[in-house]
Amino acid sequence: MQDRHVIANAYLTVTVKADGAELCSLRDAVDQELLWQAGPTWPRHAPVLFPTVGEMNGHCLRHAGKVYPMGRHGFARDRRFAWLERNTTRCRLVLHDDGETRKHYPWAFKLEIAYALDDDALEVIATITNTGRGTLPASAGMHPAFQWPLSEGVAKEAHTITFARPEPAPIRRLDADGLVLPDPVPTPIQGDTLHLDPALFDADAIIMPDPASDSLRYGGPETPQIEVSWSGYRQLGIWSRRDSDLLCIEPWYGTADPAGFEGDFETKPGLMHIPAGEKRVLSYRIRVC
């Protein structure tokens, strides 16, 4: 049986599980479930991405002449975290490196994930600490999947994402192996608004490599409105698939490997490099209104 913890207030009821430190339920004040419930087309809810984001070329990490197997989005989402704190409105979990992680990633680390309610918002804080002697190269991200549509009877195409600022910059796309293509393409965002349609994701995720915004609002007519904001993350991924009713809004620090990249992991573009003994804090908030 999965080890889960519930935090709640007058606005939100949130369930977190120890497996992957994953958010697995987000219910509003009228008890409507807003999070994708891990259906057969995608058996996750909101995985934590660490120490990589996206796919690795050849499904492996190369370092100092050695090759380490690494699956898409890293291993944190498939590891059981330990509880550090559990109360009515907050919980905190931790994952340390061990013999198993070092088979895939030869660095020492501590990864803490905290969930805290603040009125009608849920704040999710990731703290990555370098517990080793050298510099820690890493990527990290969050992958929350929201219901799409958010309410029965509302068409998917009636939903929009509205950004805090206009987003005219080109986006990036992935090749058939999940690697970042070298050439940017025009954005489907019109001004500050992305009009959602399943066809947007026929070419996989929409990757915003340097968004001007640090927040957005997702919703449709007569549905709950979900505001997502982030701090410390550099990229934003938006993803769905035609055979599911989910929409992922994903703040990232780092992306999949560039197509053709075969270098040492430490030289991969877009990584954070954390000095020995230091930490990096990344956060995002989900507000329901």
The Cα–Cα gap between 43 and 100 comes to 23
Tokens of 272: 């954070």
Question: How far from chain centre, in Å, is Cα 258?
Answer: 19
- Hey, what amino acid is at 27? R
Give residue 158's pLDDT band: very low, low, confident or very high (50, 70, 90).
Answer: very high
Give residue 1's pLDDT band: very low, low, confident or very high (50, 70, 90).
Answer: very low
Contacts of 26 (CB under 8 A, 6+ apart): 12, 13, 14, 33, 34, 35, 122, 286, 288
3-state helix, strand, coil in the chain (%, to 5): 5, 45, 50
Domains of the chain, earliest start first? 4-288 (2.70.98.10)
- pLDDT tens string 177-215: 999 999 999 999 999 999 999 999 999 999 999 999 999
- pLDDT tens string 230-289: 999 999 999 999 889 999 999 999 999 999 999 999 999 999 999 999 999 999 999 999
- The pTM of the full predicted model, rounded to 2 decimals, is 0.97
Question: How far from chain centre, in Å, is Cα 263?
Answer: 25
Q: Averaged over 22-33, what is the pLDDT?
A: 98
Contacts of 28 (CB under 8 A, 6+ apart): 11, 12, 34, 224, 288
- pLDDT tens string 32-43: 999 999 999 999
CA 189, 230, 77, 136 dihedral sign is positive
State how beta strands 272-274 and 246-253 pair: unpaired
DSSP 83-130: EEEE-SSEEEEEEE--TTGGGT--S--EEEEEEEEETTEEEEEEEEE-
> For residue 2, is pLDDT > 80?
no
